[in-house]
Structure 1
Amino acid sequence: METRAGRLAVLAYHSSPLSEPGSGDSGGMSVYVRETAARLAGLSVQTDIFTRAATDLPWVVELTPGVRVVGIKAGPGRPIPKEQLPAHLDEFSAGVRIFSMGQHVAYDVVHSHYWQSGVAAEKLANIWDVPLVHSNHTLGALKNRFLAPEDEPEPAGRIEAERRVMNRADVLIASTDQEYEQLACLYGAGHDRLKTIHPGVDHDLFSPGDTSTARRLLGLPKDRPSLVVVGRIQPLKGLGLAIEAVDHLRHALDRPPLLSIIGGASGRTGDDELRRLHRLVADRGVADLVRFVGPVPHADLPSYYRAADLTLVCSHYESFGLTALESQACGTPIIGTAVGALSFVVRDGRSGFLIPSRDPSDLAARAKTLLSDPDLARTFGVGSVASAERFSWDRTAGALSELYDCLMSERLPEACTC
C-alpha cells in the first residue's frame, strides 16, 4: 500500500527513547518508540517524539533524519519517581503546544505510549482536532492481577486514567491477540477501535553468532553451562525464581552453571528487590553461580545472548516479552514462565519450554533437558531463529504507517481497524 507523507507527534512522557533500556524507567517501550520512528522515517512519516526533560531547559535531538526527540520541561529539572510524574502532565502538554506553535508545525496524528502519555495526548488531540492512537504497553489491572508477593499494587487512579484514555482514543494498539481481548474484557474497549500490531526485532543487530567468540569477548568460562536473564530488576520480573532454579540445577549437572543477570533496579521497589536478590544468593550459597552484571547498552546484548546456552524469563506477567524475542533472534532458546504473551512469542517445545508453575525444580528440569542434549539444543536454536523471523520492526512500522494514513483520510476511525 502506498502511503502519503505525514507528520506524527509521539508522546513518551516518562521514558526517553534516548535512554538505554534495562534500568530506571527505560525498557522495551523505549526500544519500540525508537525503532518504529526510525523505520517510519523511511516511509516518509516525519516524527517528533516528546518526552519529559529531566533538565532545567528543553532540548531537541535528531535521532535520525526525519525523527526528532524533544525534551519538554515539566516539573523538576531532574529525574523523579514515576509515581510523581502525573502531577506535571499539564505542564508537559502545554510545553508540547508551545513547541508546536514556535516551530509552526502541525501534526496529522498523535500516538501516545503508556497511560501517562495518554492523559497528555487526550488534550492535545482535542485541541489539534487530530486522531489519537494509544499503546498501553502495560496494563494496571493486569499488573495487579499477577502481582508479585514483594510488589506494591498499582493505584486506582492509574486504572481509572487508563479507562479514560481508552475511551477517548480513536485507535488502541494491542501487541497480541491476547492483549486485544484483555483491552475489550477488562477495560470495555470496543472491538471497532482495537487493532493488533506486533512489535518487532532488529535482525541486523540480533542474529546468531559464535558462542565461543561471545564468551571470550565477555570473559565468560567456555566450559560451563551459561544462562542469562535480561531485564529491569523489579518484583514483576520474578528473578528470584531464576536464582532458585540455578540452585537446583547445580545438583543435576556435571559442571556448575553460571547465571548472568543483566539489568538494573527499576521502579519504586527496584532497589529493595535488588537487595533481596543479593540476600537470596547468599542464603542459597550460590555466589559462585550468579553474577550481577548491571545494565548494559542495548547494542551489546547480542553478545550476552550468543554466549548463553539458555535465556530465562521468569516474569509473573509479560505484556509482550521483547527480551524473549531478541534472544530467539540470536538463536538462544527460552526457558520461561507460561504467562502473558510469552506463549505467543515463544513456541513451546520448539524454541523453548514454558513452565505453567513457579516451581524452581520444574524450571531446572527443563533447563537440564536442553543443557544435557546438544542435538536437541541445536534443534531448539534453529527453532528459535525461525520463531523470531515472524517479527520485524519493518513490518511493525509498515502496519503503523498504513494505520496513520487511513486515519488521515477516513472520517470514521473504525474504518481503519477492520
Structure 2
Amino acid sequence: MIKPLFRFSILCLCLVGLVIGGVSAGPALALTAEQSLVAEVWRIVNRAYVDETFNHQNWWFTRQRALDRPLRDREDTYRVIQEMLSGLNDPYTRLLPPSQYRSLQTSTSGELTGVGLQISKDEQPGWLRVIAPIEGSPAEDAGVQPQDLVLAIDGVATTELTLDEAAARMRGKQGTTVTLDISHSDNDPPRQVSLTRDVITLNPVVAALKTTTEGQRVGYLRLSQFNGNAVEKLAEAIDDLASRGAQGYLLDLRNNPGGLLQAGIEIARLWLPKGTIVYTVNRQGILDSFEAFGQAITAAPLVVLVNEGTASASEILAGALQDNGRATLVGSTTFGKGLIQSLFDLSDGSGLAVTVAKYETPAHHDINKLGIQPDRLVATVPLTRDTVATDADPQYQAALDLLSQATVVASAS
C-alpha cells in the first residue's frame, strides 16, 4: 500500500508544477558529481526519515537551496550536506565521511583505537553527554561516568562540534593523548582529564558463576555492547553456566550503550519463549513488531541490572523482559533513547545514519528522553572495574539478594 501512495504523491507534485508554470518544463540540467551526492542524501532522508514534516520545514526547498550552493570540492559538499541535515534538529541523523563510517562499522564487530567513550549530544546548549565508557577503556580507567558532560576536547568547545567531529577528535594513534574538560553536572565545575589513546578490544560478554550467602548458584552475565558477536557469545555463556549448575541468572546491562538492533532482539529471544519484544512506529504512525518464538534457552529466574548508561538496544531488551514479566529490573532509570537509526551506504564510500523509526516497549511505553524505571530502585555509585559485581556494588548486591530469593522459590516449586 505504501509504494503506490508514494508514487501518487510525487505525481501530484509534478502536475501542480506544470499548472503553475503555465509552460512545459524543459530538459533537466545534468547534476555535477558533487550535486549528485547532495541529491543522493536528500533522497534517502526524504524516503526514510521518521518525521514526515522534516522538523516543520519544506524539504523540497531545502534540496534546492543545497544544490544552489557553490560546491567546489568534496569538503564543500560534506559541509552543505551537514547543514542540510542540521535543519532536522536530530543529532542521530548525520553524514559519516568514509573514515568515520569505517570506524563505526568496525565498532560493531572489531577493535577501536581511542579513549572508549559512547557519547550523545544534548539539544541545549549542545554539550556532549557520556552514555557510557567502554569497559577496560582509558575513559573508564580515568573515572569518567555515565551522564558526565564533555565540555571541550583539546580546548575546543563541544558545542562547536557535531557528534562525529567530536568522536574523530577523540580517536587517534595509540599512545597519543587527548585532554577532555569533564563536568558531572551542569552546575559542577569542570575538571581536565588527560587520556592516552589505546586499542580497545570490544569483548561484549563477561560471565562468572557466583554463589550467594544462602548457597544459591547464580550465573552472572555482563553484556557491554550489542555487537556482531553478542548473541553467540551470550548463548555460549548461558549454556556454560547452566552446565556448571547455575540456578538463576543476573544480566548486567549497566553502561551498555546499545549497538545492533537485531542483536538486542535475538538476545531477547534467548530468554523469551513468546511475546512481543518491541514495537516500532514509522513516519506514518504504523506499528510493526518483533516477536519471540520457539524455545527459550532457559526458564531459570532472571534479574536485570540497569542504570543511566543503559541505552538504545539495551533498553529494548530490558523493556521486553520487564513488560513480559520475564525479569525483574534493579538499579536506576535508564538513559532514554527510543529512536532507531538505519545506516545507508553512499556512492563515495561515506555513510548516512538516518532515524527511521521510534520504538515502544511491549506495554506501549515510549521511553525516549524518559528511560525505563526499574522495578527496584537502587542509586548508582561510582565504581571501578575491580569493584563491579562485588560487595562494594550496592546495585549488584540488591539484585543478588532478589535473585537468591527467586531461586529458592523456583527450587521449591
Between Structure 1 and Structure 2, the one with more helix by share is 1
Q: Higher relative CO (CA 8 A, sep ≥ 6), structure 1 or 2? A: 1
* TM-score over 0.5 for the pair: no
TM-score (norm 2): 0.31
Write 1 or 2 for the structure with the bigger share of strand.
2
Please tell me whether Structure 1 or Structure 2 has the larger radius of gyration of its CA atoms.
2
